[in-house]
Each structure stands twice: as C-alpha cells, then as structure tokens.
Amino acid sequence: MFDRLTQIEARYEELTQAMSLPDLVNDSAKFQKTAKAQSDLTPVVEKFREYKELKKGIEESKSLLEGETDPEMRAYAGDEMAQMEKRIVAVEQEMKVMLLPKDPNDEKNVILEIRAGTGGDEATLFVAEVFRMYTRFAEMQNWKVEIMSSSESSAGGMKEVIAMIEGKRVYSRMKYESGVHRVQRVPETEQQGRVHTSAITVAVLPEAEEVDVKIEAKDLRIDTFCSSGPGGQSVNTTYSAVRITHLPTNTVVSCQDEKSQIKNKDKALRVLRSRLYEVEMDRQQQALAVERRSQVKTGDRSEKIRTYNFPQNRITDHRIGFTLHQLETVMDGKIDALVEALSAHYQAENLKHDSVSA
C-alpha cells in the first residue's frame, strides 16, 4: 500500500510542477485536464502526508520518553503519543478506503424511477412521499431535480415518477437506494385501525452519456401522441408526447411532461440511454467471479431493502440491519444517517474482498 501511496505522491508533485509551466498555462484544455488530475489525487496525498507526520510525531515522542526523566514531561509525551497512535490507525484505514477501485459512475447524475407496487392507492401515496423525501434530500445537497415523466393516481398519489437528479457525486450518494421499499401503516380509509403493508420499487440509474451507450436511429421506433392528465391548454390538443421503443431490447420509454415534442424526445432518450446502460452494467456484473456474486446484491430492484413502519416510528434497512426510530425526520429528506451507514458497510465489504484478493 505504501509503495503505491509514494507513487501517487510523486505523480501529484509532477502535476503540480507541470501546472506552472508556460506551455501548459497557455493551453486551457490541457491545463484543465492537468488540474483535474491533480485535484483527484489531492485527498489521498493529504491523507498520506498526515500519516507520515503522525509517524514522525510518534517516533519523536518515543525518543522523548526514553531520554526524559521529568514525570510531568513523560506524562505529557505519553498522552500525546497515545492520541497520535489512535489517530494513525484511523488514517491508515481511511487510506485503504481511498485506494479502493473507484466506481466509474460515482460522479454521474442519476435517473430516479419510483413505481407503485402492491397495495393499490396506499402504494401510490407512498410513491409521492418517497419522491418528496428524495427531493428534499437533493435540496439539502444543492442538487437539481427535474421531473422527466409522472403519472398521478386518483387517490392523489403517483403511480410512477421518473426524474433526473443533477449535481456533485449524485450516484455515489444515491446508488444504494435501488430496491423494494415497504411501508406499514394504517391508511386513512381503514375503519378498523388495521396496519396495511404496501410496497414500491425504486431504481437509481447512473445517467449514461452518448459515449457510454451508442443508440442507432434504425433501432428506434418513435411514436407521438396527445398528452393526458392534469396540465395546461396543450393537454389533449397537440401531439407533443413521445414514446420511444428500442427495438433490439423492446425497451419502451414515454415522456409527456413538456409542451414541446422535441424536449419530450430529448428527455425520453436520456432515460432510454440510462436504462440500456444499466442492462449492460448488469450483464458485466453477472460475469464477475463467484465470490463477488455471493455478496449482497445492492442494486437488485426485486430485493426488499427497507421497511418504513409508521406505527412504531421505525425505519429499517434489511441489508445491513440498520434501524432508526426517526421516521418523520427521514421522510422529510434527512436520510444522511442511512446513506452513510450503507456507504460504510459496503466500503468494509470491498476492503474485505480486496484483502482476500491480495
């Protein structure tokens, strides 16, 4: 690990020196590329330098203890060394995490798809509530949310909603949300006070760029139709809604939220591209080694991942056995505790696998 860290630090120094060269300063594109490369290495280098400083400090404290006779000075040096030894263990663990292979999708925006499952009207109401939860979470992260497509239910909920979330490292924070989300509560229409169980599905797809997925025009069938549902004067009067069918995979995407057919087509293509990208990702993941397949399938949408129990004010993530009794806070978008617990768990799993592979 330390040989690799030394190489990273040397590369960081090269990039830093290169950024002061006139040839690079005068070439905007190359300068930005070099600055990005240097910026990506900065956190690792800073952590490695902190480790080396701690190492040096521990050695100095040891020398001081060996030669010091004053009790107060020995006690001070001992306390200082104990704190540094505790910190260096944490820093070493942080460096191991930093050196794990990066998920190439972590920097991407996401397509969020939420659909009602079992439970009828109650499931559609929960779709709307979970979408609000993610929207509030996005606002707290300074991310932008744009609805691509939605379908309302007669009960005032949503049968489905598809949205684009754009911002810094969105996929890295949202990628563990895919799966079946179960809700347990007493519906307003329930006369006997019985708790009902409903379910919805959540899919978080990294937004695919054109370079990620090549879509041929000959493979598409594009149909236009009149918009339906709540809306302005354009609803049911113009053929602005678009349905795109990807013939090789029979994947169908519809979009009708915009009054412009061109804008609806563009949105539908973005969703289609991301869905096809997910199919390719799944194909690649299925080709991994047996020991990787045996790990928890965090992106499997058929897997029940979480239960929201309203009578007990409890939310439980079944993949990691994590429970919070702060359901109202979570539904208001404060899901950081869940996100961080999941990230920590799967980082630990990756570290375990990495050490076995090594």
* Better-scored residue on pLDDT, 350 or 161: 161
CA torsion 84-86-91-93 (nearest 10°) is 160
State CA 223 to chain mean position distance.
33
* Cα 165 versus chain centre, distance: 11
Identify the CATH assignment for 217-284 out of 3.90.170.10, 3.30.43.10, 3.30.160.20, 3.30.1330.10. Answer: 3.30.160.20
User: 69 - beta bridge partners?
Assistant: none
The β-bridge partners of 243 are: 223, 254
For residue 294, pLDDT over 70 is answered with no
Distance CA(22)–CA(35), nearest Å, equals 14
What whole-number distance in Å separates Cα of residue 197 and Cα of residue 187? Answer: 10
CA proximity to 325, closest of 340, 346, 311 = 311
Distance, CA of 34 to CA of 24 (rounded, Å): 9
Residue ranges of alpha helices (H) inside 19-70 are 22-25, 28-67
Q: What pLDDT digit, counting tens, does each position of 61-99 carry?
A: 888 888 777 888 888 888 999 999 999 999 988 888 788
Tell whether the model's pLDDT for residue 329 goes beyond 70.
Answer: yes
Strand partners of residue 116: 200
pLDDT band at 141 (very low <50, low <70, confident <90, very high): very high
Q: Choose the most confident range, by mean pLDDT, from 28-32, 162-166, 231-235.
A: 162-166
Dist CA 146 CA 26 (whole Å): 38
Tens digits of residue pLDDT in 225-257:
876 654 444 444 567 889 999 999 999 998 887
Q: Average pLDDT in the 255-284 region? A: 84
> Between vectors from CA 328 to CA 324 and to CA 334, what angle results, nearest 5°?
75
Q: Which CATH architecture has domain 110-211+297-353?
A: 2-Layer Sandwich (3.30)
**Is this structure's pTM higher than 0.75?**
no
Q: What is the mean pLDDT of residues 336-343?
A: 93
First to last CA, the chain: 11
Q: How crowded is residue 146: how many other Cβ atoms within 10 Å of its Cβ? A: 11
pLDDT at 210: 67
SS3 214: coil
Per-residue confidence (pLDDT) for residue 317, from 0 to 100: 96
**Are 330 and 314 spatial neighbours (Cβ–Cβ below 8 Å)?**
no
Amino acid identity of residue 93, one-letter, is Q
Average pLDDT, integer, range 185-192? 79
What percent of the chain is predicted at pLDDT more than 70?
Answer: 88
Which pLDDT band holds residue 263 (cuts at 50, 70, 90)? Answer: confident
> Where exactly are the structural domains of the chain?
2-98, 110-211+297-353, 217-284
Q: Which of 156, 355, 150 is nearest to 271 (CA)?
A: 150
Q: How would DSSP label each residue in 94-163?
A: HHHHHTSPPPTTTTS-EEEEEEE-TTTHHHHHHHHHHHHHHHHHHHHTT-EEEEEEEEE-TTSSEEEEEE
Q: What is the mean pLDDT of residues 2-7?
A: 88
Q: Which fold has domain 2-98?
A: Methane Monooxygenase Hydroxylase; Chain G, domain 1 (1.20.58)
| Cα–Cα dist 1/322, whole Å | 31
pLDDT at 296 over 50: no
Q: What angle do CA 308, 337, 128 make, to 5 degrees?
A: 40
